[in-house]
Amino acid sequence: MRRNSLFIVIYIAALMLGACSNEGIAFKKAEQSYAIGEYYAASINYKKSYSRCAPKEKDKRAVRAFMLGECYRHIGFTQKAMAAYLSAIRNKVPDSLAYLHLAKQQLKAGQYKQAEQNFQQYLTFDPGNELAHSGLLSCELGPQWKAKPNQYTVKN
């Protein structure tokens, strides 16, 4: 009986070590895929790596969520990119570009008020950024243009 319990303890320890290394392997594969422009493959591996990180490891989770957002942004998955950037911000990502990219995705989705808040937040980090200033202008003009479309009608 004692031998069986020792075997079970060793087996569980091996499984836990394997799970830890799988997170690192998935992250390395994701980095390689991202470097060569395979953003979809990278997103799958970043998602695996993110889900295998412990919730207490906020710095690892933040980096993986940010990179997942970058992959989704390159692919064109706006909603998934916004969710990933929000997760990165929630986990306190050290890169302030998360706010800028989140705001641009929100602008793309038509969420002007949230985009304006995130552009303002990014401007606290980089006050002279022209992209953020033009984004703020877009947040002001977008609803006006949406309310009053162009004066022309297109006919066949």
DSSP letter for each residue of 46-87: HHHHHHHS-TT-HHHHHHHHHHHHHHHHHHT-HHHHHHHHHH
Q: Determine the pLDDT at residue 10.
A: 53
Q: Are 129 and 101 in contact (CB under 8 A)?
A: no
Residues 29-65: tens digit of each pLDDT: 999 999 999 999 999 999 999 999 998 999 999 999 9
Q: What is the pLDDT of residue 88?
A: 94
Residue 38, number of CB atoms within 10 A of its CB:
15
Q: How far apart are CA 4 and CA 41, in angstroms?
A: 41
The proportion of the chain whose per-residue pLDDT surpasses 70, expressed as a percent, equals 87
CA 60, CA 124: separation in Å to the nearest integer?
24
119: left (phi over 0), alpha (psi -120 to 50) or beta: alpha
* Nearest residue to 46 (alpha-carbon basis) of 81, 94, 17, 78: 81
Mean pLDDT of 122-149: 89
Give the model's confidence band at 2: pLDDT under 50 very low, under 70 low, under 90 confident, else very high. Answer: low
pTM for this entry: 0.79
- pLDDT tens sequence across 62-113: 999 999 999 999 999 999 999 999 999 999 998 889 999 999 999 999 999 9
Rounded distance between C-alpha atoms, residue 80 and residue 89, angstroms: 14
